[in-house]
Every structure is written in C-alpha cells, then in structure tokens.
Amino acid sequence: MHLPNLEEAKIRTDKKSEIKNNSYDFKKQFQNQKFYLKTYGCQMNVHDSEEIRKYLEMLGYQETKTLEEADIVVLNTCAIRENAHDKVFGYLGRCKHLKHEKPNLLICLGGCMSQEESVVNEIKNKHPYVDIVFGTHNINDLPKMIIDAKEKQNIEVYSIEGNVYENVLYSRDSKITAWVNIMYGCDKFCTYCIVPYTRGKQRSRRLESIVKEVEELKEAGYKEVTLLGQNVNAYGKDLEEPVTFSELLEKVAETKIPRIRFVTSHPWDFTSELIECIAKYENIMPYIHLPLQSGSSRILKLMGRRYTKEEYLKLFQEIKEKIKDVSITTDIIVGFPNETEEDFLETLDVVNKCQFDGAFTFIYSPREGTPARLIKDSVSQKEKEERLARLNKIVNQYSLNNNKKLEGKIEEVLFLGVSEKDDKKLYGYTKTMKLVNVKADSTLIGQIVPVKITEAKSFSLDGEIA
Ligand code: SAH
Ligand code: SF4
Ligand code: F3S
C-alpha cells in the first residue's frame, strides 16, 4: 500500500525523470465481463481515460455505457474544485449499492482526487468497498492491480515528481480527432491550484516522439490533433537540450495533418515568436484558450500568475493583430479571497475590452495544500455567487455577439458525428472551435466541409452545406 503525501508532492528537484517504455502482455482473462468508465475533469483526464480503456480492453473487458451492467467500474476523477468531491462520493454510493447485488463488482478510483491525502484517508477509513485506488503517476499499474485484486482494499498512489511515459497505447474516443500529450505536470504553483500537487513536476516529452505520434495519427486517417499540457508554451524548457513550443508546433505543422490545436496556453511564456508561428501555418488553428483568471493586478499577484492586467491586455492585442480571424476564450475565477468590488470591476473591464469568444467562469474553491487556502476571506459566498452571475451575463452576451458576426459567412467545418438532438443533423467545429449543427449526410463525418452559417446562438451555430 502507498498513500499520497502532500509534502512530497510539492518537491521539485533537478532529478531526471525516467522514460518508461511500457510493455503490454495481458491475457484476455476477463472476457465476457464489462467495464464502465466515468471521466471527470479536463482534457488531460479525458485522454488518460483513453489509456485506461486500452488496459481494460487488453484484459478482455468490453465497455458498457450502463453502470448496472458493469463488472468493473473505474472513476477517473478531478480535484480542481471542491464540488467534484461530493459528486464522486455520491457516485461511489451508487456503486456501493450495486455491489450489494453484485458482490464481485470491482470498484476502482483514479485521477487527481486519488492524489489528495484527505480523499484517500476517507476512502481507507470509510469506504472499504472501494477495491482499488491508483494515482495519476501510475495509471499503468491498474491492470496488475485488477489481476491481483483480493478482498482487501489496495491503494497505490505515489506523490513523486513523475515519469515521462512514451509509447503509451490508447483506445481513443474518436477516429477523427486525437489528443496528444506533449508534457505532464505543472511547475507554476498558482496559489489557488491543486494541479502541481496532483500531477507532479513539469516533464516534457521528446520532440521527435511527439512528431512521430502525430505522423502515425495522420497515417491512420486522423484529421485533427490537440497538443495537451497544463502550460503548453512552457514546453521543452525542462529537456536536457531545451526546445521551444513554437519549434515543436512548426515540426507538427510540417506533418501536414489538417488541423492542429493546443491547450492550455498560459499568458506567461507566450512569445511573439509563438504568435508568428501560429499565424504562419494554415493547419495551426486560429483559436487560443488564454486563461485570464482575474483582471485585477492585485489579485493576479496574490494568485501567483506572473502577469498584470496591462500585460494580459497587451498580449491579447498582439494575438488579435497578428493572427487573422483568431478566436480567444478564457477562464475566470471570481471570489478569490478578499476580492473587492473594485477588483471584480477590473475583471469586468478586461472582459469588456477583450470581448472573449467564450469563457469558463468559476467561483474560487479552496483546495487542500494550496497557499491560498490559508488566507482568511472576508467575502461572503452570496456575494461571490452574485459576481459570478453578473460576469456570466456579460460573457454570454459577447459570445453571442461574436457568433452573430459569422451569420451569412462561409466557415470550414470538420464534422465529428451525428447531432444528439436531431439525427438528421451532423455536428462539427469551425477552425475557431465553434460548434456548428448542419443538416447533412453522415458520409460527411470526418471531412472538412464549407458551411454557410445561417443562425448564431450563444453556444452554437446553425448552418447549411455551402
Ligand atoms: N493550466 C491551466 C488551467 C488548468 S485548471 C492554466 O493555467 O490556465 C482549469 C481552470 O480551473 C483554471 O484556469 C481556473 O480558472 C480554474 N481553477 C483552478 N483552480 C481553481 C480553484 N481552486 N477554484 C476555482 N477555479 C479554479
Ligand atoms: Fe494550475 Fe496555474 Fe498550473 Fe494552470 S498554470 S495548472 S492554474 S498551477
Ligand atoms: Fe482536474 Fe486534474 Fe485536470 S484536477 S482539471 S483532472 S489536471
């Protein structure tokens, strides 16, 4: 048994992360059994779940979308905000209930919540029916833990700086778009954020192996890759022979895969060289997610974000000027400890100046082990909720306004599948990452097609084949 440790999770040394080449040799010993995989959190977790799915399939399990049919349940969790905790424990309650009827049901917990000391203690002390707990650093231990599962609960979570994994096999969600990890972990330690503790030190993958993965995806018919990292523009700084993110992007663009995206960009490390690189290549999509967090320089400083309001606005302007028709979305936190009305108005000011294409907005949530949690806060929850509502109203208005500008225009749309609401329609995304619904034949799935935008809504567009 290995339990997570917050103090160890903070450690950052120069220790070279080891590269593990996974070897896979599982007998399909659980044939005729089913797995249910549930994913919370960010794209990184969605991608990790593709690795988990691969292992389960290699063990012989088949996927079910119905919890009640499952012989094994795997929850891949997120720890970014406190409310995830209640959701996951609520879900575990359902699994426990199911286990009464199906005593052989295996219940497994992984992801960022497994890296939290308090969560694992709670599981250990109060939820003995959870069979397996694994962390973000040892997803590849899961098959062995399943094979070895006994009556006793098995917890294997490591608070290490982390390894760089190469040659990982995935069972991907899509045959059209693919996630590609370019780096693991985060060293930024924004004062509110738990990710550096749950994901470990920043470790970049080697440039050649990333490019090779993209080439293979292109060969396999993929139309789009999204390069993944908590801070993609810090890519390569930790390598023995440092490379920049724009050098990587160029190499990936030269594979000629039709569409390249990347998340997440931190405003810090966002160089002019990078902006020029994005502008230069047709297949690098003009879409940037650029988290603001707050418009108040005072709060940004307390958050440890390393940029001011003015620096953010300057960067935003430069991106808008140099990248044609770029769309920019953001993340905003309201109610950081002791955020004043004036601070909040600074945030609204930036939103009004930038008129984002979209924004994910959150109320600050205190997280275990992070420095911001120790700040005594004088702002009430009610006040924070009101600020969030005020912010959302403005944010949604700008989304709609920006979408309205596309009415009557022709946009290139990559179709991904049949719309959930209307089976005569397909859904897909513009280069700028806007969701479009179009009446079209399913043979167009996987193709990039010109679409005339007929109607704009706040969160999607309607169109017709041009
Ligand atoms: N690496 C990315 C963010 C990843 S987390 C970046 O630095 O931009 C995604 C978003 O969750 C963050 O951008 C932030 O807006 C939000 N978030 C993170 N920690 C939070 C917390 N403690 N409370 C509320 N929102 C938080
Ligand atoms: Fe969290 Fe900041 Fe790292 Fe983003 S950059 S993952 S917000 S610590
Ligand atoms: Fe959540 Fe972990 Fe991602 S905390 S946002 S799943 S890195």
- Residue 436 alpha carbon to ligand 1 centre in Å: 27
The ligand whose atoms approach the alpha carbon of 41 most closely is 3
Atom of ligand 1 nearest to the CA of 231: 1
pLDDT for the residue 150: 87
Share of the chain above pLDDT 70, in %: 99
- Residue 455 alpha carbon to ligand 3 centre in Å: 34
Q: Pocket residues for ligand 1 (CB within 6 Å)? A: 80-81, 192-193, 195, 230-231, 264, 266, 291, 293, 331, 333, 362, 364-365, 367
Decide: 350 and 295 in contact? Cβ < 8 Å: yes
What CATH number does domain 6-156 carry, 3.30.470.10, 2.40.480.10, 3.40.50.12660, 3.40.50.12160?
Answer: 3.40.50.12160
Cis peptide before 191 (omega within 30 of 0): no
pLDDT for the residue 22: 63
Is domain 169-404 classified as CATH 3.80.30.20? yes
pLDDT band of 21, cuts 50, 70, 90: low
Count of residues making up the chain = 466
pLDDT band of 14, cuts 50, 70, 90: confident
The residue whose CB lies within 8 Å of the most ligand 1 atoms, and thus the one to mutate among 333, 339, 347, 361, is 333
Atom of ligand 1 nearest to the CA of 190: 7
Task: Compute the average pLDDT of residues 130-146.
Answer: 96
Task: Compute the average pLDDT of residues 112-125.
Answer: 97
C-alpha 33/C-alpha 58 separation (Å) is 12
Domain ranges in the chain are 6-156, 169-404, 410-465
- Residue 187 alpha carbon to ligand 2 centre in Å: 8
- Supply 416's token pair: 């991904």
Atom of ligand 1 nearest to the CA of 367: 22
Q: Looking at the domain 410-465, which fold is it?
A: OB fold (Dihydrolipoamide Acetyltransferase, E2P) (2.40.50)
Query: Which protein residue has the closest C-alpha to ligand 1 atom 15?
Result: 331
- Residue 119 alpha carbon to ligand 2 centre in Å: 21
Cα→Cα distances 101→97, 108, 131, 278, Å = 7, 17, 16, 55
Cα→Cα distances 395→278, 289, 317, 331, 400, Å = 26, 15, 18, 11, 9
Q: 3-state secondary structure string, the chain?
A: CECCCHHHHHCCCCCCCCEEECCCCCCCCCCCCEEEEEECCCHHHHHHHHHHHHHHHHCCCEECCCHHHCCEEEEEECCCCCHHHHHHHHHHHHHHHHHHHCCCCEEEEEEHHHHCHHHHHHHHHHCCCCCEEECCCCHHHHHHHHHCCCCCCEEECCCCCCCEEECCCCCCCCCCEEEEECEECCCCCCCCCCHHHHHCCCEECCHHHHHHHHHHHHHCCCCEEEEECCCHHHCCCCCCCCCCHHHHHHHHHCCCCCEEEEECCCCCCCCHHHHHHHHHCCCECCEEECCCECCCHHHHHHHCCCCCHHHHHHHHHHHHHHCCCCEEEEEEEECCCCCCHHHHHHHHHHHHHHCCCEEEEEECCCCCCCHHHHCCCCCCHHHHHHHHHHHHHHHHHHHHHHHHCCCCCEEEEEEEEECCCCCCEEEEEECCCCEEEEECCHHHCCCEEEEEEEEECCCCEEEEEC
372-393: pLDDT as tens digits: 999 999 999 999 999 999 999 9
Answering whether pTM is above 0.95, one says yes
pLDDT for the residue 27: 83
Atom of ligand 3 nearest to the CA of 45: 6
- Rounded to a whole number, what is the largest CA-CA distance in the chain? 63
Of 4-8, 69-73, 123-127, give the lowest mean pLDDT range: 4-8
Task: Compute the average pLDDT of residues 16-23.
Answer: 68
C-alpha 450/C-alpha 411 separation (Å) is 6
| Burial class for 178, CB neighbours closer than 10 Å (0-12, 13-18, 19+) | buried
pLDDT band of 15, cuts 50, 70, 90: confident
Query: Which protein residue has the closest C-alpha to ligand 1 atom 12?
Result: 331
Query: Which protein residue has the closest C-alpha to ligand 1 atom 1?
Result: 230
C-alpha 369/C-alpha 112 separation (Å) is 14
- Supply 431's token pair: 């280069």
Side-chain-side CA neighbours of 444 within 13 Å: the count stands at 22
| Burial class for 28, CB neighbours closer than 10 Å (0-12, 13-18, 19+) | exposed
- Residue 333 alpha carbon to ligand 1 centre in Å: 8
38-57: pLDDT as tens digits: 999 999 999 999 999 999 99
Q: Pocket residues for ligand 3 (CB within 6 Å)? A: 41-42, 44-45, 78-80, 111-112, 194-195, 198-199
The residue whose CB lies within 8 Å of the most ligand 1 atoms, and thus the one to mutate among 44, 85, 189, 193, is 193
Query: Which protein residue has the closest C-alpha to ligand 2 atom 5?
Result: 188
Taking 70 as the threshold, does the pLDDT of residue 408 lie above it? yes
pLDDT for the residue 151: 85
Task: Compute the average pLDDT of residues 107-130.
Answer: 97
- Of 451, 359, 464, 347, nearest to 402 by C-alpha is 359
C-alpha 455/C-alpha 452 separation (Å) is 9
Of 155-169, 348-362, 413-427, give the lowest mean pLDDT range: 155-169
pLDDT for the residue 23: 66
207-236: pLDDT as tens digits: 999 999 999 999 999 999 999 999 999 999
Task: Compute the average pLDDT of residues 462-466.
Answer: 97
The residue whose CB lies within 8 Å of the most ligand 1 atoms, and thus the one to mutate among 81, 85, 362, 368, is 362
Task: Compute the average pLDDT of residues 173-190.
Answer: 97
Average model confidence (pLDDT) across the chain: 96
pLDDT for the residue 241: 92
Q: Pocket residues for ligand 2 (CB within 6 Å)? A: 186, 188-190, 193, 195-196, 230-231, 266
C-alpha 251/C-alpha 173 separation (Å) is 25
Single-letter residue type at 400: L
294-329: pLDDT as tens digits: 999 999 999 999 999 999 999 999 999 999 999 999
Share of the chain above pLDDT 90, in %: 93
